[in-house]
Amino acid sequence: MYTVRDALPGDAEKLLEIYGWYVENTAITFEYDVPGVEEFRERISKTLEKYPYLVLEEDGRIEGFAYAGCLKARRAYDPSVEVSIYVRQEKRRRGAGKALYEALEERLRAQGVVNIYACISYAETEDEYLTNDSMRFHQHMGYRLAGKFTRCGVKFGRWYSVIWMEKIIGDREGH
C-alpha cells in the first residue's frame, strides 16, 4: 500500500536516486547532468514555499515524487501551475503515479488552482531513450493535448519534441 506525504528537504538524496536515473538514461527530462544533493534540496525547499511537493512511499521506501510549480511569473497565471512526476521504473503501471497525482490535485484544488499543465518530452518515433508512456499516462489521468513544440530539444544526439497537456481541476467562473 502506498502512502503519500509532503516532501522534506532531507529527502533530496532519495529523490535523486529516482530522478538521476531519468537524467542519465532517458530524454524524459532534458536535463543533461544529475544535480547535486544540495542543489536538489534547494529545489525542494523553493517549491515548498508556495506549492505542494509530495513523495510516495511503500513500506517506508520512497518510490516516487510529484510537485507543482509556477507556470509563469505573472499574477494573471496564479490559478495555473505546471506539474512534474517521477516514479521508480519498477513501480510504473502499478498505481504509484495515479496515487501521487490524485493527492497533488487535491492539494492544488485546496489552494485554488484551476488549471494544471504538464510539459512532456515527446518522441516522433519512440526509441530507447524516450517512449510516449508519459503522454499516455497523462491522457489516462484526464489531461488533453494543449500544444506542441516540434523538435525543440536535443539529448543523446537526437531531436525530441515537447507537448503540453492540460487538465482543468477547478471552476473558472470565480476568477
> pLDDT tier at 10 (50, 70, 90 boundaries)?
very high
Q: List pLDDT tens digits, range 66-89.
A: 999 999 999 999 999 999 999 998
What CATH number should be reported for the domain holding residue 80? 3.40.630.30
For residue 23, the model assigns a pLDDT of 98
- What 3-state DSSP class applies to 60? coil
* Count of domains observed in the chain: 1
Report the alpha-carbon angle 79-47-53, nearest 5. 90
Q: List pLDDT tens digits, range 20-71.
A: 999 999 999 999 999 999 999 999 999 999 999 999 999 999 999 999 999 9
Pairing between β-strand 2-6 and β-strand 53-58 as defined by DSSP bridges: antiparallel
Q: C-alpha dihedral over 73, 43, 53, 6, to 10 degrees? A: -140
Q: Cα 122 to the chain's mean position, in Å?
A: 14
Residue 138 lies in domain: 2-174
CA distance 63 to 17: 10
Tell me how far CA of residue 159 lies from CA of 27, 45, 85, in angstroms: 10, 32, 22
> pLDDT tier at 94 (50, 70, 90 boundaries)?
confident
Taking each helix axis as running N to C, give the angle between helix 12-25 and helix 37-48, from 0 to 180 degrees, rounded to the nearest 10.
Answer: 110
